[in-house]
Amino acid sequence: MDTALAALIPVALVLAATAAMELVAWASHKYVMHGFGWAWHRDHHEPHDGFLERNDRFALVGAGISITLFALGSPMIMGPHVWWPGTWLGLGVLVYGIIYTLIHDGLVHQRWFRWVPRRGYARRLVQAHRLHHATIGKEGGVSFGFVIARDPARLARELQAQHAAGLATLRGDSASRDVPEEI
């Protein structure tokens, strides 16, 4: 195999795993965190004073997945049964975790730094996630992704339709400020 091509395979695996993690995160947010994992996720949707949340346990699950993949790709751990893509897929999961931490915890929830974007995609991410937090409880809701955000005006209309149909209870507080006027 050509050396340049052989070098591109690990890069492609890292990029593919990073991109796939947004789909995994969306599904786990919608069906696990807002499903049977609500006991861990609830405090993320409620005001609290502490620095850490029960919800942060999900980051440990993600880290466990990344570590497991790294271990599967490690000859020191797996010996002759090494699964070489494991290292690169584990790195992709790790890269997504870093992106998630910077964007979701840092930018959207202001846990690590204070910056409120006034325009562009960063503002769209913040608006979409505020719409996600505009509901009370685990039922209903919109925008379950963390890095990819749909148009906030469309999300607001979907949320209003859910509310009108009795599928979502909207907050009356500032959880949804800085979002389109439909809310």
Q: How many CB atoms lie within 10 A of CB 94?
A: 21
Average pLDDT of the residues in 132-145: 92
Cα gap 40→10, rounded to integer Å: 34
Binning pLDDT at 50, 70 and 90, where does residue 177 land?
Answer: very low
Q: Which pTM does this prediction carry?
A: 0.87
**Statement: residue 176 has pLDDT above 50:** no
